[in-house]
Amino acid sequence: MAKEEERSEEKPDHHHRCCCCICHEFFKSASQNPHKIAVIHASGGARICRQFGYNSNNNKFFRSKSNPFCFHGDELFTYSEILTSIKSLSYLIRHVLDGANDPDLIKPSDSEHVDNATITSTDTPQILAIYMVPSVEYIVAVLSVLRTGEAFLPLDPSWPKQRILSIISLAKVAMILKCKTSFHSSDSHQLEKSEWLADRTGCAVLEMSMKKNHDKDFEFLDLEWPCQSVKVRKFCYLMYTSGSTGKPKGVCGTETGLLNRYLWMQELFPLHGEEILLFKTSISFIDHLQEFLSAILTCVPLVIPPFEEFKINPFYMADFLKAYCISRLIMVPTVMRAILPAIQSLYIRDVQNCLKVLVLSGEVLSVALWDVLHKILPKTSILNLYGSTEVSGDCTYFDCKRLPMILKTELLSSVPIGIPISNCEIVLVGEPNEFSQGEIYVGGTCTSLGYFLDPTVSSSNYIELSQVSGHCNGIPFLDKGCRSYFRTGDYARRLHTGDLVLIGRKDRTLKLNGQRVALEEIENSLREHPNIIDVAVISHEGQEKFVYLIAYIVLKAHDEIHMLDSHIRNWLAQRLPPAMIPNRYVCIESLPRTSSGKVDYGYLPDPAFISKKIKSNTHITLGDSDLLEVIEKVFSNALMIGKVKKDDDFFEMGGNSITAAQVAYKLGIDMRLLYTFPSPCKLLSALRDNELAYKLDFGTSVDWEGKPKVAYKKRLSGSSLEICAGANNESALSVKRLKVDSNTYELLNSTTPGHDMPWKSSFFLSKTCSFSRCNKVVYGGKYEANDVRQACWSAKYPINGKACMRELWKVHLKSCVDASPLVVSKDGDVYVFIGSHSQTFLCVDAVSGNLQWEAKLEGRIECSAAIVDDFSQVVVGCYKGKIYFLDFMTGNVRWAFDTLGEVKSQPVLDMQRKLIWCGSYDHTLYALDYKNHCCVYHISCGGSIYGSPSINTVHNMLYVASTTGRVTAILIEASPFRCMWIHELGVPVFGTLVSSPNGNVICCSVDGHVTVLSISGSVIWKAITGGPIFGGACLSNALPSQVFYLVRAGI
C-alpha cells in the first residue's frame, strides 16, 4: 500500500505563463542578444589540451584576442546565426513533411517503406530522428523540430548500426535529419558515411547545413507557434532506454517536463548570462537536454568539445574546465571519480574559482566521493539529483551543503537524493509494516506520457494510485481522485529530515539468509576503501542453488587481489552485516560501461569461469601440505622474513637473483621455475601438475636443522632454446646465465605431442612482462628502470654435440628494419611489436607468427617501441615527427603527439610519474602523460636526440644527450621538473647514456671518447678508444669495475 508521500511546495503558475514553450523562450532570448556568442565549437581548445595540457600561464598565447575565453581554431556561432538557421530548417522540414521534394532530401530506393513509416494518428506527433553528434547543428535540429510541432528522437552515431536500425523501426520514424558536423576531426568522417541510413531504414534522410539559407524558398509558409496551435502535441521527444530489462523502451517525454526542470533549476541557481557552460554528454543520455537548454534559454555561452575527445580520454574534462572557465557541470559520479586525479592538479585553483555548481546524477553518489569533492571544491555548490528518462531527467534533489548536519545523526554510505523538485510528487510504496521505506513512485509535471507504442510495459510501470483509499502512517491521502505515477523500481527510505536516501533497486535487491541485501549498498561501502577505485557487486547462483556474492574490484595500485582479500573482508565486516560480505573478490582493470557511463553488469566476467579458475589456482590437498610448508620455510629463510604465505610473490617481497639461486639450491630445482612460478602455491602446483609440458618425479627430504631439499628429475629428451633470467638490485645492464645441471635437466623436444612451440612454456612468465632493446624490462606492472630481473635468450647444447636453430615463422615487413622488436608476454600469450621503413607497425603472435593487427603510420619507423605500465598502450615514434600511442589489443591510435622533427629515439617509460619520455630531431625532449594524453614538460637539448633518455631512479635524475654533444641532466623528483646542469662534449652522441647506481653518467661519442660525468656534471675520467662509437655503453654486475662498448672498427 502507499506508505509515504513527499510533496514539493507548489510553485506559482506564472512560471508556465512566462515560458509557454521552448521555441518561444529561445526566440525572445536570441532576439534580445543577436550578436552574443551562443555556441563555441572548441576544436582549438581541444588541440591545446590534447597536446600540451592546460596551463593558465603558457596557454594565454593560444587564446583569441577578439574573444579572450576562446582559442585559435575555435568556431563561434552567434544567437542571430542560430536563429536564422532554425527558421530555415523548420520551414524546410515542414515543406518536406507536407510532401514536397528538396535537393538535400535523400530518398530510399523503396518508397513503400516511407509510406509505412509515416503513418501516424491525428493526435500523435510525427517522429523525426536526429542523427548527429553534440554540436551546434544538433541544437538547431532539436529546436527546428520543436518549432514544427513534431517530436524529435536523438540517434547517437556511436551506437552500433543494428541498434540504430532497430530503434528507427520501433519508433516509426518519418524522417532522419543529419549533417556534416562543423568539427574538423575524425567525427565528421563517421557522419559522412551515413548514406546507408536511407536504404537500410526506408526513411528519407534530410541533410542540413549551418551555411545554407532556405528563407527565400519558403516565404509563403507561416508556421504557427506550437503553444498557439489547435493541435495539442502529446509529447515533444522520444528517447530510448534499455532500462533494467535490457529491451529498448521509447520514453515519450513532454515539453512541460523539460520546462519544469529548467525553470526549477533557474529559480534555485539562476543563470545571468555571464557564465560559461559545457555540452559534453552523449545525446543518448537524458541529461544532455538540460545541458544545452539551460544555456541557450538564458543566453549563456555554450562550449562543445569535439565528440570523441572525452571518450578517448575523460581526463581532458579537467583541462576544459580550466581552459574555458566552465561555471556549471553535470556529471555521472563514476566519471567524476575517474577524473579526480586530473582535477587535483597544479591548477586546481582555476577550477575552484570558476566552477560554481556541480550537478551529480545518473547513479548513486557515495559519501566518500562527496567528501573528496567537498574538500577540493569548497566554494562549489554540489547537488545530488535523482531521476530517470521517464521523469524528464530529474525529480528530486539534495543540496550537499546540508550533508554534514545530517551525518551527525545518520550513518550513511550514500548521499541522500533529497526532496522533490517543483511540481513533482514522490510516493513510497512498501510493506505494511515498513513505515518509512518503499519503492519510489513519481507523479506530477515531470512524469512522461509513457512508452511509445508499448501499452503492456506502460501499464506495468505507470500506475494509477487511488489517493482516497491509500494511507500514510494511518493518515489518509488528500482526495484528488486517481493520478498516474511512474514506478521507478528504486527503493528508498525517509530520514528524520524528510530527505530520501536510496537503498537499492528492485532488480538489484535480494534476500540472503532471510535478510534484504541491496547490492548498491555493498558497492558504496567498498568504494570508501582507500585501495579501491571502483567496484561492481553481483549475485550468482552456484551449485545446489547456493547464492553467493562476487565483488569485481578496480584497485588503485597493481596489487594482487589475494594480498588484500582478508584485509578487505575484515574492513567490510566493520560496516556491513555478515550476509552482505561478498564471498569472492575479483580484481579487474576496469568495469564495463554503457554509453551513458553506468556499469554494464551483463559484460562482467563469467562468474562460473572465475569460480573454476580460483579453485584450480588455490586448491591444496592434504598430501601437499608438508611440501608446501617446506617451500614456505625456504622462502622465508632466503628473504630473512618471518612468515611467508602460500600466495606471496617471492620477488615482490624482495627476492633477487642471489636469493632465488639460494632457494633453487635448497629445493634442488631449476631457478627458472621460480621466475615462472614465484609463489609457494604456484611452485608446488608446477612441481606436481602432470598436465604441464613436463612430468616430474620428486621426493622430499626435510632436514630442519640443515637445508630442506626437494630432489626431482625431469624426464625429457631433445634440445631446444631456453630462456635464462637473472636479477640484481643495482645495475641495469648485467645478465647472469643460469647453470643447469645436464645430468638432471634436459630440454623438451619440439616433436613432443601437444607442444608445437616448445620454447613458449619456458618463456611464459606468471606475470605480464615485456622485453625490448638493451634488455629493458617491464615486469608485473613495475618498471625496472635499472633492468632488475631482466631476461636474455641463450642457447644450450650438449658438451660433445651440436645445436641448431630453425625457422619457425616469418612475417614480411615490406621494407628495411632499423629498430629492435618489443616482446610482450601477457595473459599467457607472447606478442612481437615491430615497425619498418614501409610506415607499417605490426603486432605478431610470437608463437604462430599470425598477424594480430597492422597500423599504418604517417612516416617510416626507425625506433623501437615501448609499452606503458598497465600494458594498454604501445608507444612508437615515426619519421614524420609523431609519437603514437596505440591500443595494445587493436592497434587503433589512442593519441598522437606531434613534434616538429623526426623521432628516432626509443620512448622510455617513467612509471613512477606515469610519463613517457621521448626525444625528437626538433632538438626537444618531451614528457608525455600517457594517462591524460598531454605534454607536461619539454626542454630544448641543443641538437637532435637519437639515443633514449636514461633515468636514475635512485637519485630521481634523467640524462639525455644530443647530436651536438650536449648532455642535459634533469631533476624529475617532483613537478615542475628542472634542468640541473648541462655539459658540452663538443662532438655528437648517438648512443643512449648509461647511469650507474652511484649516479655517474657514461657517455660514448663519435670521436671514440668515453667520458664519465659525476652526478653534478663534472668529468671524472675520460678515455680514447680505437674508433668511433655510435652505441651506448654497458655495465655488468659480474664485472662492476668495467665498462663495455663497441666501436666501429669491430672491437
In order of their start, the domains of the chain are 22-326 (3.40.50.12780), 424-614 (3.30.300.30), 620-790 (1.10.1200.10), 809-938 (2.130.10.10), 941-1051 (2.40.128.630)
Q: Beta-strand (E) ranges in 861-977?
A: 866-867, 873-877, 882-887, 893-898, 908-910, 915-919, 924-929, 934-940, 950-952, 957-961, 966-971
Transcribe 94-116 into DSSP letters. Answer: HHHHTT---TTEE--S-THHHHH
Q: Which of 373-387, 661-675, 984-998 has the lowest mean pLDDT?
A: 661-675
Model pLDDT for residues 798-854, shown as the tens digit of each residue = 555 555 677 788 888 888 888 889 998 887 788 899 999 889 999 998 887 888 899
Model pLDDT for residues 880-938, shown as the tens digit of each residue = 899 999 998 889 999 999 998 899 999 999 988 999 999 999 899 999 999 889 999 99
Phi, psi dihedrals of residue 565, rounded to the nearest 5°: -55, -60
What pLDDT is attached to residue 422?
94
CA distance 739 to 736: 9
Q: In the chain, pLDDT over 70 holds for what percent of residues?
A: 70
Model pLDDT for residues 338-349, shown as the tens digit of each residue = 778 777 765 677
Per the prediction, the chain carries an average pLDDT of: 76
What pLDDT is attached to residue 644?
84
Model confidence band, residue 463 (pLDDT cutoffs 50, 70, 90): confident
Model confidence band, residue 556 (pLDDT cutoffs 50, 70, 90): confident
CA distance 878 to 370: 44
CA distance 867 to 822: 8
259 against 828, higher pLDDT: 259
What pLDDT is attached to residue 121?
56
CA distance 1016 to 855: 43
Residue pair 527/476 in contact by the 8 Å Cβ criterion = no
The neighbouring-strand residues paired with 331 are: 360
What pLDDT is attached to residue 659?
64
What pLDDT is attached to residue 357?
97
What pLDDT is attached to residue 247?
60
Model pLDDT for residues 298-309, shown as the tens digit of each residue = 999 999 998 776
pLDDT for residue 565 is more than 80: no
What pLDDT is attached to residue 183?
61
Q: In the chain, pLDDT over 90 holds for what percent of residues?
A: 32
The count of C-alpha atoms lying within 13 angstroms of the C-alpha of 425, restricted to the half-sphere facing its C-beta, is 17
Model confidence band, residue 420 (pLDDT cutoffs 50, 70, 90): very high
CA-to-CA separations, 166 to 88, 162, 169, 194, 539, in angstroms, rounded:
30, 6, 5, 16, 31
What pLDDT is attached to residue 395?
97
What pLDDT is attached to residue 812?
83
Model pLDDT for residues 788-810, shown as the tens digit of each residue = 333 334 444 455 555 567 778 88
Model pLDDT for residues 357-368, shown as the tens digit of each residue = 999 998 889 998
673 dihedral zone (left: phi>0; alpha: psi -120 to 50; beta): alpha
- Provide mean pLDDT across the span 1035-1040: 64
What is the signed CA dihedral for 63, 66, 72, 78, rounded to 10 degrees? 120
Model pLDDT for residues 502-530, shown as the tens digit of each residue = 988 777 767 565 465 778 878 888 988 88
Model pLDDT for residues 9-67, shown as the tens digit of each residue = 444 343 444 578 899 899 999 999 999 999 999 887 767 665 555 555 445 545 555 56
pLDDT for residue 545 is more than 60: no
847 against 485, higher pLDDT: 485
Cis peptide leading into 416, omega within 30 of 0? no
pLDDT for residue 1016 is more than 70: yes
Model confidence band, residue 117 (pLDDT cutoffs 50, 70, 90): very low
483 against 992, higher pLDDT: 992
CA distance 823 to 777: 10
Contacts 24+ apart (CB under 8 A), 917-920: 917/949, 917/951, 917/958, 917/960, 918/875, 918/877, 918/883, 918/949, 919/944, 919/945, 919/946, 919/947, 919/948, 919/949, 919/960, 919/962, 920/877, 920/881, 920/944, 920/945
Q: Which of 112-126, 403-417, 466-480 has the lowest mean pLDDT?
A: 466-480
What pLDDT is attached to residue 672?
64
Q: Which of 82-86, 412-416, 461-465, 947-951 has the lowest mean pLDDT?
A: 461-465
Q: DSSP code of 274?
A: S
Work out the burial of residue 392: count CB atoms within 10 Å of its CB; fewer than 13 is exposed, 13-18 middle, 19 or more buried.
Answer: buried
pLDDT for residue 708 is more than 70: no
What pLDDT is attached to residue 59?
53
Model confidence band, residue 149 (pLDDT cutoffs 50, 70, 90): very high
- Provide mean pLDDT across the span 569-587: 76
pLDDT for residue 131 is more than 90: yes
pLDDT for residue 775 is more than 80: no
What pLDDT is attached to residue 1035?
73
Residue 543, all three cell numbers: 551449485
Model pLDDT for residues 730-765, shown as the tens digit of each residue = 332 222 223 333 333 333 333 333 334 444 444 444
- Provide mean pLDDT across the span 287-314: 87
Q: Which of 46-55, 73-82, 645-654 has the lowest mean pLDDT?
A: 46-55
pLDDT for residue 694 is more than 90: no
pLDDT for residue 474 is more than 90: no
Phi, psi dihedrals of residue 104, rounded to the nearest 5°: -90, 5
pLDDT for residue 608 is more than 50: yes
Model confidence band, residue 475 (pLDDT cutoffs 50, 70, 90): very low
| Chain centre distance of CA 172 | 35
Model confidence band, residue 241 (pLDDT cutoffs 50, 70, 90): confident
What pLDDT is attached to residue 16?
42
| Chain centre distance of CA 229 | 47
pLDDT for residue 611 is more than 60: no
